[in-house]
Amino acid sequence: MVVLDIGANVGDVAAVIADCVSPTGRVVAFEASPDNAERLRARFRDVPHVEIRHAAVTDQQGTMTLHLDAKSSKRHSLFEAAVSVRGETITVPAVTLGAVAGELARVDFIKIDAQGAEGRILAGGRRLLERDKPVVLFELWPRGMAAAGTSPSDLFALLDGLGYRSVRLSVKGQQKSRGSIDRFLSDATKWASANVIAWPPQRRPGLLARLRRRLKSAK
């Protein structure tokens, strides 16, 4: 299986995914922060089926400004209002999933944790979603999406239009109803976020089941 890890940070999730797909698969991990990208390269230096790319994934190609969070490297964002404690800004390369689709024969699974850029990432990856129908696991952070100039309604309209079925994941990895997502959105506070899994038509949850087992065993 081919998996994209968008917003890989220092690689905790990428490590689990790499174990799940095994050396016969491939993991392409994207990280906008150059410091985190270097940590990823060091961590996966001896794991040949994990490829590290220093780039932000969004809906445009070229370069973008990355706003660094002075408090936590997990909160760096392309959008200033999504940063908790503002630090420096740097210029980073930016790519779209549409461009990535041109490089890869197929993509089976996408994980996204990108501090509000999720809507823009998926909008820029519509062609890939239509072609491969990958399973998509993403963080839903309404405040961050607002900072990016997008909204949950736009994101779900895109997924719904492609035939995806979106459910919320509990902290224990249990799948909840779409109504649970709606209830979360109705009263989400500034920093509140939820994990959502979007199932495409006629796709079985084999990889997610393996991920859940590995994550539980790692605790």
Which strand ranges, in their side-by-side order, compose the sheet holding 109-112?
50-54, 26-31, 2-6, 109-112, 135-140, 194-199, 165-169
**pLDDT for 36-73, tens place per residue?**
999 999 999 999 999 999 999 999 999 999 999 988 88
- pTM score: 0.90
In the prediction, which pLDDT does 3 show? Answer: 98
The mean of the pLDDT values for the chain is: 92
**Domain range annotation of the chain:** 2-218
Percent of the chain with pLDDT over 90: 81
140-174: b or e for each residue (b if 16 or more CB lie within 10 Å)?
bbbbbbbbbebebeebbebbeeeebebbbbeeeee
Check whether 8 has a pLDDT greater than 80: yes
Q: What was the pLDDT predicted at 158?
A: 97
Dihedral sign, Cα of residue 213, residue 219, residue 165, residue 183: positive
Q: How far, in Å, CA of 74 to CA of 76, rounded?
A: 6
pLDDT band per the 50, 70, 90 thresholds, residue 166: very high
Phi, psi of 143 (to 5 degrees): -65, -40
Is the pLDDT confidence value at 218 over 80?
no
Q: How does residue 75 score in pLDDT terms, banded at 50, 70 and 90?
A: confident
For domain 2-218, give the CATH number: 3.40.50.150
Residue 172: its pLDDT value, please? 85
Q: What would the pLDDT profile of 102-156 be if each residue is shown by its tens digit?
A: 999 999 999 999 999 999 999 999 999 999 999 999 999 999 999 999 999 999 9
Q: Which residues pair with 140 in a beta bridge?
A: 194
Euclidean distance between CA atoms 28 and 49, whole angstroms? 8
Count CB atoms within 10 A of the CB of residue 9.
20
pLDDT of residue 214: 66
Contact 9, 52 (CB under 8 A): no
Widest distance between CA atoms in the chain: 45
Q: What CA–CA distances, in Å, run from 188 to 17, 75, 79, 151, 167?
A: 29, 18, 19, 13, 17
Mean pLDDT (whole number) for 202-207? 62
* Model confidence at 204: pLDDT above 60: no
